[in-house]
Amino acid sequence: MAGAQSSRGRVLSVASECVPLVKTGGLADVVGALPGALAGLGWDMKVLLPCYRALRAGAAGWPVVWDEADLWGGPGRVLSGEMGGVSVLLLDAPHLYDREGGPYSSPVGEYPDNAVRFAALSWVAARIAREGLEGWKPDVLHAHDWQAGLAPAYLAYHGNGGCKSVMTIHNIAFQGWAPAHMLGVLRLPGHAWHPEALEYYGGISTLKAGLVTADWITTVSPTYAAELMRPEFGMGLQGVIAARGAAVSGILNGVDTGVWDPGAEDPAFSAKSLVGKAASRAALCAEFGLEVPGPLAIVVSRLTDQKGIDLLPAVIPDFILGGGGLIVLGSGDPGMEGAVRALAARFPGRVAVRIGYDEGLSHRLFAGADAVLVPSRFEPCGLTQMYGLRYGTLPVVALTGGLADTVIGASPATLTAGVATGVTFHPVDALAFGQALAQLLALYAQPKTWAKVRANAMAHPVGWETSAAAYAGLYERLTA
Ligand code: ADP
Ligand code: GLC
């Protein structure tokens, strides 16, 4: 019987993205890493995902473990298999997911039926959680972000069959809003149409639905868990989260240290002997035609307002004057893409830009750069600052969310105590960010101090061990 071997419990994780199958951001990294991290602690996890067009060929021939006759305009079936080391359930409903384009949009814009597309995922998740697959009945349904928000709601409103639910917020900026007339269409009961339930500004929020109905709420760092209860971060849902405060916790993400392994980029890479670092840096400068006397910084990011990318034009010129260099890898807001391109045009040999998504290049950037810049206005957890720690690429971060929980900023006190791992700044504006870059230049000019901070950074644990134990503890408490 699948998964029956002495497992502590079974978890059905429900999400729209999962590495290595489909990714637009850190959500996918986390959903893909959790099953492996929890397997080591005896938890048996399956991830339910939509069977997007790109996944169909790989799943051809997989056994059908669930049939759903009426999934908003067509039938659906669930295929079961392994992909990239993850035990996966794919919801194959071609009328919803077999499309040209990304998980949420085509080149023309967002799919108009996203509410229904992800309601379908949540509906099937809740049914499997309630009724169980043959030989595999989940103890916990773990829903990620608005796309899975209706899954705990369906359990709460239609019966949970003994299955507990966890709702994890990766980013509250995305709330899954649908107009009021969709209530019945989404198979939600009339009594849920209430401000204390899922009504939200005259419509329905699928994230709010998950938040009010799940047995427990988590988010991806302790600081973000606290920030979310304040208006400037809660984005309208602060009251909802605060009201459930006794059932909210922040569990910091980890990174996959097998995938993000400096020794894999270059065997000479270590905190003590930075030979590998020097070689990687030289290769990077050659690849991008850069000559940088001071610290070489990188940005690997979605280019959006959340990430504070719009601050770069104000702070980079002084950083360049001070000897620094910059490589930006990312895509997103056309205005921000233009602004970073303009920086590269203004500072040839010092600033380079690659618009696009490139996993291989991102590894080479972390291996070769001296610092990674993460000036986010809010950051639920953030992964790139942790890649930076691991590769001795000092994080320069805004003091918010998971950034505040993972980086110890250099200050006279932290340098004396020998614990600094990067540079932090607050508030998130050009003045503070510019001062942080000035501090980075000053640190770089003191090789012994720089080497100490870098060694601290590389020694800072960023793996999944602690966080996986926290999720395991949560599952255990819920199912006790
Ligand atoms: P978010 O999920 O908000 O975008 P995270 O820091 O949690 O932020 O995760 C972003 C993930 O996407 C990281 O793994 C990062 O390396 C990756 N990433 C972002 N932009 C690019 C890009 N242009 N090329 C390669 N990887 C990228
Ligand atoms: C979201 C957040 C990011 C977090 C990621 C994974 O995309 O923006 O901070 O690291 O989810 O939890």
pTM summary value: 0.95
CA of 353 to the centre of ligand 1 (A): 16
How many Å lie between the centroid of ligand 1 and the Cα of residue 470? 24
> 3-state SS of the chain?
CCCCCCCCEEEEEECCCECCCECCCHHHHHHHHHHHHHHCCCEEEEEEEECCHHHHHHHCCCCEEEEECCCCCCCEEEEEEEECCEEEEEEECHHHHCCCCCCCEECCEECCCHHHHHHHHHHHHHHHHHHCECCECCCEEEEECHHHCHHHHHHHHHCCCCCEEEEEECCCCCCCEEECCHHHHCCCCHHHCCCCCCEECCEEEHHHHHHHHCCEEEECCHHHHHHCCCHHHHCCCHHHHHHCHHHEEECCCCCCCCCCCHHHHCCCCCCCCCHHHHHHHHHHHHHHCCCCCCCEEEEEEEECCCCCHHHHHHHHHHHHHCCCEEEEEEEECHHHHHHHHHHHHHCCCCEEEEECCCHHHHHHHHHHCCEEEECCCCCCCCCHHHHHHHCCCEEEEECCHHHHHHCCECCHHHHHHCCCCEEEECCCCHHHHHHHHHHHHHHHCCHHHHHHHHHHHHHCCCCCHHHHHHHHHHHHHHHC
Cα 239 to ligand 1 centre (Å): 29
How far is the C-alpha of 127 from the C-alpha of 150, rounded, in Å?
12
Q: Which residue has the tokens 């790989």?
A: 58
Residue nearest to atom 1 of ligand 2 (CA): 170
Q: Pocket residues for ligand 1 (CB within 6 Å)?
A: 25-27, 29, 300-302, 329-331, 357-359, 362, 381-384
Atom 4 (ligand 1) nearest CA:
25
- Ligand 2: atom nearest CA of 168 is 12
Interval 52-106: pLDDT, tens: 999 999 999 999 999 999 999 999 999 999 998 899 999 999 999 999 999 999 9
Contacts of 125 (CB under 8 A, 6+ apart): 12, 14, 48, 141, 143, 148, 151, 154
Q: pLDDT digit string (tens) for 277-309? A: 899 999 999 999 999 999 999 999 999 999 999
The domain spans of the chain are 2-254+465-479, 262-459
State pLDDT tens for residues 200-253.
Answer: 999 999 999 999 999 999 999 999 999 999 999 999 999 999 999 999 999 999
Note the pLDDT of residue 271.
58
**Residues having CB within 6 Å of any atom of ligand 2:** 25-27, 30, 170-171, 220, 253, 379-383, 402
Starting from the CA of residue 384, give the closest ligand: 1
Give residue 4's pLDDT. 44
CATH number 3.40.50.2000 given to 262-459: yes
Ligand whose nearest atom lies closest to the CA of 24? 1
302 alpha carbon – ligand 1 mean position (Å): 6
Closest residue by Cα to atom 19, ligand 1, is 301
Residue nearest to atom 14 of ligand 1 (CA): 26
Report domain 2-254+465-479's class: alpha beta
Q: What is the pLDDT of residue 173?
A: 94
CA atoms of 182 and 116, how far apart (whole Å): 9
Asked whether this chain's domains 2-254+465-479 and 262-459 adopt the same fold, the reply is yes
The parts of the chain modelled with pLDDT lower than 70 are 1-6, 268, 270-273
According to DSSP, the residues that pair with 158 across neighbouring strands are none
Residue to mutate, 233, 253, 387, 471, ligand 2, most ligand atoms under 8 Å from C-beta: 253
The whole-angstrom distance between residue 393's C-alpha and the CA centroid of its chain comes to 20
**Ligand 1 pocket: which of 16, 34, 300, 363 to mutate (most atoms within 8 A of CB):** 300
